[in-house]
A and B are shown apart, each in its own frame.
Chain A
Amino acid sequence: MRTIVVIPAYHEEVTVAGVVTHVREEIPHVIVIDDGSTDATGDRARSAGAEVVTHCVNRGLGAALGTGIAAALAAGADIIVTLDADGQHDAADIARVIAPIERGEADMVIGTRFGFPPLPASGGGGARGGEVPASRRLANATANLLTRLLFGVRCSDTQSGFRAFSRYAAERIEIRTNRMEVSSEILAEASRHGLRITEVPIRTIYTDYSLSKGQGFTVGLRTAWALLLRRWF
């Protein structure tokens, strides 16, 4: 089966080349969505061997994922993997994340950081190990609760950026929101279409860099508001 990895990236010139290189050791076809970066993100990704699709203006994570999935479908992907450009995900986990789809047991897989004993981090520069910081745990618990109340989907890590979709699933999931709320939206869409969702434990490599790029409190509030709008409008 043809697997394509989609990596949304906004101002990630520091890490994107490393991520692309690691991923290509596992999966050769990588599409990076340069979401209107004004730094060298696109060039770095291209020289690391990724195909780069460029948003001329910054549209946010959800928009970039939507474009990436559309591009991967057009390129004939049977399985689409999404992961983050900040280096927090381990490319070595891709095989395990896509395995349930390859076996035909799931339409969509979420790589989860919770609900399992944390896996040892595989290392890397400035890695803190697999433990998820307490502030992140709280933010995630809130997001999980909101997703469950609004959309009726139970998931231990609704905000995870490490996912896999079968072609069948990717063709059905319609992404309407632009920003961080996309993570919950994808789950809502999956449940609306009755897709089979599975969770697989993944390693996370939290560095000072990747922590600084995550969702802060205000972004969290904005995400919550956007989810409310998405639910009823």
Chain B
Amino acid sequence: MGVALAEMVLSMRFLLALAALSGLFWTVSRFRKRQVPTWVAGLWALLWLAIGVVALIPDITNRLADLLGIGRGADVVLYSAIVVIIALLFRMSIRLEQLDRAITKVTREVALRDREKE
């Protein structure tokens, strides 16, 4: 029983490490194709690296938790995830706003050009 659980946890860690590695490759390839700005790629790379490190050395979260005064390592992961998600949401809402303005600009141009034709 204990061995089975340990194996499962181990394979979860393995999967997570694999996910982090492919995430890292994905980020690097997008960066090399210049699809994302440098700082965004940097942030993503850091995020994937952090996930990879946590997957390979789970105990590091406990040491980090002690350092930060948070109860458990799992909580550190949870809190960081929330912060990252909020930051991403925020970025996305700003991006949406920019898109919104761009669409308005196009709509206005078209409207005013149609008017000139009349």
Structural contact, A54 and B114, CB atoms closer than 8 A: yes
Query: Complex: how many Å from CA A67 to CA B97?
Result: 18
Binary interface encoding of chain A residues 12-27 relative to chain B, with 1 for a CB under 8 A from any of its CBs, else 0:
0000000000000000
Which chain B residues numbered 102 to 118 have a C-beta less than 8 Å away from chain A?
103-104, 107-108, 110-112, 114-115
A72 to chain B, nearest CB (A): 11
Structural contact, B107 and A55, CB atoms closer than 8 A: yes
Which chain A residues numbered 29 to 68 have a C-beta less than 8 Å away from chain B?
33, 51, 53-57, 59-60, 63, 66-67
Structural contact, B111 and A67, CB atoms closer than 8 A: yes
Query: Complex: how many Å from CA A70 to CA B111?
Result: 11
Beyond A229-B94, A229-B97, whether A59 also contacts B103 by CB under 8 A is: yes
Interface of A is mostly: mixed
Q: What chain A residues lie within 8 Å of B103 (beta carbons)?
A: 57, 59
Structural contact, B94 and A66, CB atoms closer than 8 A: no
Q: What chain A residues lie within 8 Å of B114 (beta carbons)?
A: 53-54
Report the interface size for chain A: residues with CB under 8 A from the other chain: 19
Q: What chain A residues lie within 8 Å of B112 (beta carbons)?
A: 53, 67, 70-71, 74
Measured CB to CB, the nearest residue on chain B to A58 is B107
Query: Complex: how many Å from CA A35 to CA B82?
Result: 39
Structural contact, A233 and B94, CB atoms closer than 8 A: yes
Verify if A178 is at the interface (C-beta below 8 Å from B).
yes
Query: Complex: how many Å from CA A111 to CA B97?
Result: 30
Verify if A196 is at the interface (C-beta below 8 Å from B).
no
Structural contact, A70 and B108, CB atoms closer than 8 A: yes
Query: Complex: how many Å from CA A66 to CA B107?
Result: 11
Q: What chain B residues lie within 8 Å of A233 (beta carbons)?
A: 94, 97
Measured CB to CB, the nearest residue on chain B to A52 is B115
Structural contact, A178 and B115, CB atoms closer than 8 A: no
Binary interface encoding of chain B residues 78-118 relative to chain A, with 1 for a CB under 8 A from any of its CBs, else 0:
00000000000000011001001101100110111011000
Q: What chain A residues lie within 8 Å of B100 (beta carbons)?
A: 178
Structural contact, A55 and B111, CB atoms closer than 8 A: yes
Q: Which 5 A-B pairs have the closest CB atoms?
A: A63-B104, A67-B108, A59-B104, A55-B107, A53-B111
Interface, chain A (partner B; CB < 8 A): 33, 51, 53-57, 59-60, 63, 66-67, 70-71, 74, 176, 178, 229, 233
